[in-house]
A = this chain, B = another copy of it.
Amino acid sequence: MTAVTPALLVVSAHAGDFVWRAGGAIAAATMRGERATVVCLSFGERGESASQWLAGKSLEEIKEIRRAEAEAAASALGADIEFLDLGDYPLRESPEAVARLVDVYRRVQPTVVLTHPLHDPYNGDHPAAARMALEARVLAQAIGVANSDGSFPTKETIIGAPPVFFFEPHQPEQCGFVPDVLLDITAAFDKKRQAMECLPAQKHMWSYYSDLAVRRGVQVKRNAGPNLGLAHDTMGEAYMRYFPQVTGVLE
């Protein structure tokens, strides 16, 4: 058993999702010296840029604005970022898009994957992103599935079975989102706040997601066993596992 380099892969439907929902986990990983890669499947150019459309911006202008904001936010979190530009509202699943994601998996070799939950009655792009992220993860494991350029992978470039965590949707109860992992992001919260502030068009979200971090932080404390001496200002993020946890110690 050789050491494996931790690598976090975040598959985000739109350019901002990874900030609000997983910024703490991303910053915590990079603060530990690990690599984090964000893949934005679209810019959220049609469905999540109302103020820019109202301001008369063109589609291309909006995409550029959102790209720049997302790059700044990723930088604040210490993460790499790339954009597949698949279009949004709707984000449509396609074999080609999945094939590009297979390439990403094989290049990044993630040890942990974060994406949206599979159900969201308010935004169909989120489940579509999750379905593609999950399908590509399975295909990337198979040595008989070609890369997108037609070449075949090797034993070294196929991937294992990294755990997948769904991050929190906007209205969790309506999405069947029941947190089974509460992540302590206290130390990483400052970076998450900086990343949020890279997204000025959604300024009202800064306090909303700061309040949410407090709320999830309270739950971190409520659910912590006696061996965690948590401060009163614990900040948290909630996640849901898609696969069972594998461990050598119950804790």
- Name the distance in Å between A162's Cβ and chain B's nearest Cβ: 5
- Cβ–Cβ contact B160 & A2, under 8 A: no
Interface size class of A (residues with CB under 8 A): 35 or more
A 173-185 to B, binary, CB cutoff 8 A, 1 in contact else 0: 1100111111110
- Given contacts A138-B122, A143-B53, A211-B211, whether A109 and B226 have CB atoms under 8 Å apart is yes
| Chain B hits for A181, CB < 8 A | 244-247, 250
| Chain B hits for A170, CB < 8 A | 222
A 142-162 to B, binary, CB cutoff 8 A, 1 in contact else 0: 111100000010010001111
- Cβ–Cβ contact B183 & A180, under 8 A: no
Task: Let me know if A75 is at the binding interface, CB within 8 A.
Answer: no
Q: Which of B2, B161, B182 contacts A244 (CB 8 A)?
A: B182
Identical chains in the assembly: 6
In the complex, what distance in Å separates the CA atom of A134 from the CA atom of B124? 9
Closest B residue to A229 by beta carbon equals B1
From A78-86, A89-97, A189-197, the one touching the partner chain is: A89-97
In the complex, what distance in Å separates the CA atom of A179 from the CA atom of B145? 30
- Cβ–Cβ contact B184 & A247, under 8 A: yes
Task: Let me know if A135 is at the binding interface, CB within 8 A.
Answer: yes
A 1-12 to B, binary, CB cutoff 8 A, 1 in contact else 0: 111101010000
**Can you name 9 A-B pairs with beta carbons within 8 Å?**
A8-B250, A89-B138, A92-B95, A124-B135, A161-B223, A171-B222, A182-B245, A183-B249, A184-B247
